[in-house]
Amino acid sequence: MPSALQPIYFKKALAISAVTQTTTLALANLPVADYYSFYLTINTNGTTSLNVGYLTSVDKGTTYLPIPLSHTQITTTTVTDILTCRLGLGFAEAASVSGIMSNAGLASVTNKNAIFDPYYMEALLTVSGTTWSGAIWVGCYSRFSEIP
């Protein structure tokens, strides 16, 4: 019988290095888990703002669609924003509608638990201003199965 206390897994999923324009960057493969926390750390800020949202592939890496997960808009340097979600719906959680989503509107989406493919994820960085640098770290936890 599996232990209810599984180790927490942390991984640097993306290095954000001198990003100066809106771009989409692939996250490193993540393990399948019940819960995820995305830690957006910024150590060099541009002059205006940075929005970071997430996309997932529906066909193993060819087509990416927005999912209802995005960080708070970043406007300062030396900041960490943490986004925690569950893969799929939680116990007794009602289904929800995220509204119409597009890559351009991803930053203003209301965060909701969603099904996504952790092996095929991208971060959409919408840049306003000059150079942004930092990283996205991911911590994940599975209640009943071992994370490799």
Residue closest to 123 by CA, chosen among 42, 44, 46, 8: 42
Per-residue burial over 14-45, b = 16 or more CB atoms within 10 Å of its CB, e = otherwise: bebeebeeeeebebeebbebbbbebbbbbeeb
- Residue 141 has a pLDDT of 87
- Residue 8 has a pLDDT of 87
* Average confidence score pLDDT of the chain: 83
Percent of the chain at pLDDT exceeding 70:
78
Q: Please, are residues 49 and 74 in contact by the beta-carbon 8 Å criterion?
A: yes
Given a cut of 90, is residue 58 above it in pLDDT?
Answer: yes
| Side-chain half-sphere CA neighbours of 126 within 13 A | 17
- Residue 13 has a pLDDT of 96
**Comparison of pLDDT for 6 and 73, the residue scoring more:** 73
As a whole number, mean pLDDT of residues 55-80 equals: 89
pLDDT tens-digit series, residues 7-25: 789 999 999 998 989 899 9
Q: What's the pTM value of the predicted model, to 2 decimals? A: 0.84
- Residue 1 has a pLDDT of 43
pLDDT tens-digit series, residues 86-135: 888 766 666 666 555 556 556 556 777 888 999 999 999 988 888 889 99
What are the chain's domains?
Answer: 12-141 (2.60.120)
Given a cut of 80, is residue 46 above it in pLDDT?
Answer: no
